[in-house]
Structure 1
């Protein structure tokens, strides 16, 4: 490996170099104050994110997973409720449903986008006459779920539409900011996200004043928003701290350039790798309205390709090696291999390539050349 150019998957040392002054400034600013959690900086961040998302309220919390959890709680989803969600996604799309005592009902995903397939949802709805309380699609990698079709299905069945838009700040769905296309949306500020923080953080997005009030209580143990130690409901501790908010406010000033750079790199990967189809399939073209979190290809001989690249110093990531319906935690739902074939194919073929805003075009060229060599082509 020492004879090859090393390309780390996350590239934190390079990626975070421009953050250092912002981190130090945020720490210094907050350390001189007496405001550490859910104070003015958090409120300012909420205002800016709400404006970015085109919604009335952005309620800051401790993580993207916490945001989904709070959103389900705020809408009263719980025991006895059924929520349809993709069989292939990050665990939080399903685990938060289980955490509130509801039942995750899996549906298959689209081959091209890896997002919840409206046709599969329609089949689930027609196959079982038990009511469904909500649909919970997830945008994934750099792809967006078909929110218009899912909205029609939700409306037709009297269900809520909860948008797991954790990766998609800055993207546009059907002419609207991602996160605003459902009855509720979320963003995550996990460090790897396009607007990455210095730890976990997230927001819940809603147009509903009453829901926003409930969310603000729930995230802080259920405490009254004006009177300390007065509790109206059982809540959780999912609060955002002021250092995180101060840092994210600074990063927001650079966010559009981050989005543009990630889109440029995704386009470069596509131009270099598209000729390898069908052995290697790239994400759908057209990144202008997408937020590129990861660049995930579908590869024949995925594990062999990954090992080949690692031998040459190129790190990759498998998102996700096990579809949700086959995870041990959901064994009680009674699913088996073959139940959701697209999800299972993606679990065996998806490979995420290195991509972050501080990468240069030469690194993309190098990764693409090595992949081309693996498949026997001429770089």
Structure 2
């Protein structure tokens, strides 16, 4: 593709020599997993976010699993989670023996709908997982108010939102606990997988730290307070993330610059194209997802111009085969289902040259100009 979607080659070009240096230094240090570099990175994320506890783990799904376990999720426990999301928000619940209770989403933002959240709660509901997707954040104020009314724990799936804010407060710290993912495609992408749990809650911080390493407390080795997991972060991943964190705000600002150009160009294409432009300056643009009429035809048109796109996501979670046992049927989650037929992600990453941004805008605009002519 002339304009690739992920383009890891360009995204990591600046750090090639640094990556070699990190791998060599870690490889000759005899300290490979969960040692001083991981500890340093945890402290740096703590300073960046203000979180009281930062627990580095192997990946974002692991972070969700550990937090859900720490929150008491298991058989007989219901967890409310968005019907439109990546699968890990719901699969982590199910794999612990809990029951995912899907909540429909706002038709414009794609975020959990607080009104539907109220409708879906039962006496078995214990946790709610508002998920920030792409670049948009869930309505944490409304969701927190509902959670307080019904004694729900709020697990903020902020995996893609490190550096984002809502009403001046840092994403990840808007609920009882949150997380950030460092999968290579993420805004702070690593050289391998990785994530951190963040929380100000003493119990969730203490239990999560033990669960990530076989139930050990980090003080006495081979003494296990509970049954835990082997979900630790590697030293190479931590060292690189510490290096990249130093320029992270600059990367976020460049992503916002590109997104602003997209917003300005595509806003005029309504109602054929729908974009979320609110709270632009507080958002982290992980991916740029629009809702588009004639989505599949648009995608083919962009492909013919050498522009790679992605579909997030092809089906609402309740209708995925993995959750067929829950018995949902088409029409149960109308907003989530409608978005899956319209959503399209365009290339956006901090190292993307302006000429590529212009070509994407031009190609999308040309397509809808033709649609308008033939309408």
Same fold (TM over 0.5): yes
* 1:199-230 Cα distance to aligned partner (Å, 9 max, x none): 11001111123322211111112224222222
Instruction: Answer whether contact 1:113 1:284 (CA < 8 A) is retained.
Output: no
Is residue 75 of structure 1 aligned with residue 68 of structure 2? no
Moved more, 283-292 or 60-69: 283-292
Query: Secondary structure of the equivalent of 2:179?
Result: strand
Distance in 2 between residues matched to 1:22 and 1:253, nearest whole Å: 13
Number of aligned residue pairs: 371
Identify which of 41, 52, 58 aligns with 2:54.
58
Q: Which residue of 1 aligns with 2:211?
A: 218
Pairwise mapping of residues 332-343 of structure 1 onto structure 2 (< 5 A)? 332-343=325-336
Structure 2 counterpart SS, 1:288? helix
For residues 199 and 67 of structure 2, what CA distance do their matches in structure 1 show?
Answer: 9
Tell me how far 1:9 sits from its aligned partner.
0.6
Task: Give distance in 2, aligned partners of 1:256 and 1:211.
Answer: 28
Quote the offset at 1:361 in angstroms.
1.8
The answer for the alignment partner of 1:7 in structure 2 is 3
Cα separation, 2, equivalents of 1:287 and 1:157:
31
Which SS does the other structure have where 1:204 is aligned?
A: strand
Q: Distance in 1 between matches of 2:48 and 2:112?
A: 25
Structure 1 range deviating more: 49-58 or 133-142? 49-58
Deviations 1:142-173 (A, max 9, x none): 00000010000111001101100000000002
Q: Is the 8 A contact 1:112 1:284 kept in 2?
A: no
- Tell me what 1:322 maps to: 315
Give runs of aligned pairs for residues 162-173 of structure 1, distance below 5 A: 162-173=155-166
Residue in 1 that maps onto 2:40: 44
SS in 2 for 1:187: strand
Give the Cα–Cα distance (whole angstroms) in 2 for the partners of residues 188 and 330 of structure 1: 24
SS in 2 for 1:376: helix
In structure 1, distance between residues paired with 2:9 and 2:309 = 17
Q: Does 1:110 align with 2:106?
A: yes
Structure 1 distance, partners of 2:260, 2:207, is: 42
SS at 1:24 equivalent: helix
Where 2:243 maps in the other structure, the secondary structure is: helix
Shift of 1:47: 0.9
Question: CA 1:146 to 1:285, structure 2 compared with 1: closer, same or farther past 3 Å?
Answer: closer
Q: Deviation digits for residues 166-211 of structure 1, max 9, x if unmatched?
A: 0000000222100000111010000111100011100111112332
Which residue of 1 is the match for residue 264 of structure 2?
A: 271
Distance in 2, matches of 1:122 and 1:215, equals 29
Match of 1:235 in 2: 228
Q: Which residue of 2 aligns with 1:203?
A: 196
Change beyond 3 A, Cα 1:286–1:158: closer
CA RMSD of aligned residues (A): 1.3
Confirm or deny: 8 A CA contact 1:185 1:206 kept in the other structure: yes
Any stretches of 5+ residues in structure 2 without a counterpart? Answer: none
User: In structure 2, how many angstroms separate the alpha carbons of the residues matched to 1:37 and 1:259?
Assistant: 29
The more displaced of 224-233 and 309-318 is 224-233
Matches within 5 A, 1:349-360: 349-360=342-353
Q: Name stretches of at least 5 consecutive residues in structure 1 with no aligned partner.
A: none
